[in-house]
Chain A
Amino acid sequence: MKQPFEQIVAAHGPAVLRVCRAMLGVQDAEDAWSETFVAALRAYPELAADANVEAWLVTIAHRKAIDVGRANTRRPMAVAEPPEPPPVAVDDDQVWAAVRDLPDRQREAVAYHWFAGLPYAEIAVITGGNADAVRRAAADGLKTLRRVYGATPTTKGARS
């Protein structure tokens, strides 16, 4: 039996937004989120009843993020900001900027595993590669985030 789509949005909207923000930055995350959920709503009646909804949504968001990212590289950028040295006091935007600065594979692994809670094997299906490579990428990405900003106020992460 399939639950009303509203419950899908309520349950997974926040995680998908974090994933979009990690992949695209705060400006384009809202467009990617919106496109993800419209596409999901369109396909929802055909989704298998026992499907992993979170993995399905992240798969759609992954494709949308690539689309939006490609569109942006063709768009002339405004003023590029010079890179700044890591500050002593770190605000939220800077933590997000550190996520954005990770190599693609690490950023995807961190976002899909730690933000969306997907197991490494599920992520490997979405991004290609294998579960061990995804596991290493997630660990390396997290190590970088910690080195730059430390593991300040903490929240328990997702299942492994």
Chain B
Amino acid sequence: MTELPAALLQTDENQLARLHTRLVADAAASGLLDIAYRTVDSPVGSLLVAASDRGLMKVAFEVQDHDAVLAALAEKVSPRILRAPGRLDPVARQLEEYFAGTRRSFDLELDWSLSSGFRRQVLDHLMRIGYGRTESYAEVAAGAGNPKAVRAVGTACATNPLVLVVPCHRVVRSDGSAGGYAGGVQAKATLLELEAAA
């Protein structure tokens, strides 16, 4: 075993934090920051939010595994991904207002590149379901232009890349029960109660 003076192996966390901030700024200035992300605390657990320079691209629950979500973004979109909290401050603020009951709709630029085809049509329709309201999967299928595609609506909701912002939690079963949810059944119940109470 070879021994080095401990001074040579110490890490100054403050210095590294400062360098990280500088890297984010340099990367953005050079057009190299393809995806910026941060996490936001919420009553339904930690939320991962990720954005390209076109807008918010991904919102994910803790139960969806943030590391796995980032790995998937690296694979599908670009590995040029950095934690850059400042660039997502408006998103964090609007989510906090939503959970505080003081915001009923989101005013954010969105990057839709993670969804296409009929799924995208479904998400477009979901954007028109107002705060505190719900629709059945069959109603959404009809609204998205294909009344027979009830199962595909379920898939579109389950793979919604922009949970909360695109309100798939407002889609419930025709018998009135909540149905499944990417964030878990409990999270869906919490969101529906929040919107019913406000």
- List residues of A whose CB falls within 8 A of some B CB: 1-6, 9, 13-14, 17-18, 22, 30, 33-34, 37-38, 41-42, 44-45, 90-92, 95-96, 99, 114-115, 142, 145, 149-157
Contacts and interface: CB of A to CB of B under 8 A. Distances in A.
Contact of B23 (A9, A44, A115, A157): A9
Interface string B26-65: 1100101001010000000000000000000000000000
Contacts of A13: 16, 19-20
B75 interface: yes
Given A38-B23, A38-B26, A157 B1 contact: yes
A4 B27 contact: no
5 contacts: A18-B9, A33-B19, A38-B26, A115-B8, A152-B6
Given A3-B79, A34-B19, A38-B30, A149 B9 contact: no
A156 B1 contact: yes
Given A33-B19, A38-B32, A42-B32, A5 B9 contact: no
B14 interface: no
B74 A4 contact: yes
Contacts of B15: 17, 30
Contact of B5 (A18, A145, A156): A145
Interface residues of B, number: 35
Contacts of B23: 9, 34, 37-38, 41
Given A2-B75, A37-B23, A151 B5 contact: yes
B162 to A, nearest CB: 19
For B1, B6, B8, B9, the residue with the greatest tally of chain A CB atoms inside 10 Å of its CB is B8
Nearest to A160: B2
Contact of B71 (A1, A30, A45): A1
A148 B189 CA distance: 67
Contacts of B158: none
For B37, B74, B78, the residue with the greatest tally of chain A CB atoms inside 10 Å of its CB is B74
A4 B6 contact: no
A92 B9 CA distance: 10
A18 B83 CA distance: 22
Interface in B56-112: 70-71, 73-75, 78-83
Contact of B83 (A6, A33, A45, A114): A6
Given A2-B79, A38-B23, A96 B2 contact: no
Contacts of A14: 11, 16
A22 B7 CA distance: 12
Contacts of B22: 30, 34
B4 interface: yes
